[in-house]
Amino acid sequence: MPRAYQFTEKHFFAFAAKVIAQGFRRIEPYEFSAELRVANVEPPTPRIGREEGFVFCTMGLEVRVWTSFIIKEGGIRIPDSGWVVIREHGVAKYFAPQMYRTKNFFKRMLDWAIICKEHIQARPVCPSGKAFMSIIRKIHYRTKSVRYYWGCEEGGHDHPKPPTAPWDIGLSPRSLKIVELKRKRRRKYNEKRKLDNKPVFGTARKIRKGWKKKTS
């Protein structure tokens, strides 16, 4: 685990300005508590303050950026990492690589916020013309590597085989470079893990550590 880097409010507000300039908006406190109620979960320990997040919505999908930054505490204090996810109807469909609080934390978070924004802006329409395609996540049975693509999930359409589209459509050259580099690194890492007989990375996305489903 890379060493945690101490960020200040200044770093956070610089990031906030950049992500807002990209069309995201801050997730308001009332939305956060309402969502926790709907999801029926509770944080691991009573918290002072609330984690800052940003959201960008278009084409029926949304990108959520969870910064792990709590303003009232003046820093990133919770023992967790940052997340960028794409959701459809409140369900997470795509997870960007987990972000540890190393020196480039906010830079990487902005990069992946933009990448995810480009993904959802390019959401393809089924050739039948009747619906958007959905995000499909496939885990390779042997290598356990995760792959995403767009596909039509509507049964009633006039196509015997569900049409698909590549996940990377719509990405800018800069974003494409970042995702390809990430995949290359992950491939190398997984190959090494396999040689060492260790489970490969990316098999299961963790539910955020410590957040429990309420029993009552």
Q: Which stretch binds Zn ion (CB under 5 A): 15-23, 99-107, 117-125, 148-156?
A: 148-156
Cα–Cα distance, 159 to 66 (Å, whole number): 38
Q: Check binding of 157 to Zn ion (CB under 5 A).
A: yes
- Nearer to Zn ion by Cβ, of 93 and 208: the residue is 93
CA dihedral of 170, 31, 7, 14, whole degrees rounded to 10: 60
Is the separation of the CB atoms in 55 and 63 below 8 Å?
yes
The distance of closest approach from Cβ of residue 125 to Zn ion in the complex, given in angstroms and rounded to an integer, is 9
- Binding residue for Zn ion, selected from 35, 42, 88, 154, defined by CB under 5 A: 154
- Binding residue for Zn ion, selected from 8, 33, 128, 203, defined by CB under 5 A: 128
Tokens of 4: 């945690």
Q: Check binding of 99 to Zn ion (CB under 5 A).
A: no
- Binding residue for Zn ion, selected from 152, 165, 171, 179, defined by CB under 5 A: 152
- Residue 193 CB burial class (10 angstroms; 0-12, 13-18, ≥19): middle
Close Cβ partners of 169 (under 8 Å, ≥ 6 residues apart): 122, 124, 150
The distance of closest approach from Cβ of residue 86 to Zn ion in the complex, given in angstroms and rounded to an integer, is 20
The distance of closest approach from Cβ of residue 193 to Zn ion in the complex, given in angstroms and rounded to an integer, is 38
Q: Check binding of 144 to Zn ion (CB under 5 A).
A: no
User: Residue 151, Cβ neighbours under 10 Å: how many?
Assistant: 16
Q: Which residues contribute to the site for Zn ion (CB under 5 A)?
A: 126, 128, 152, 154, 157
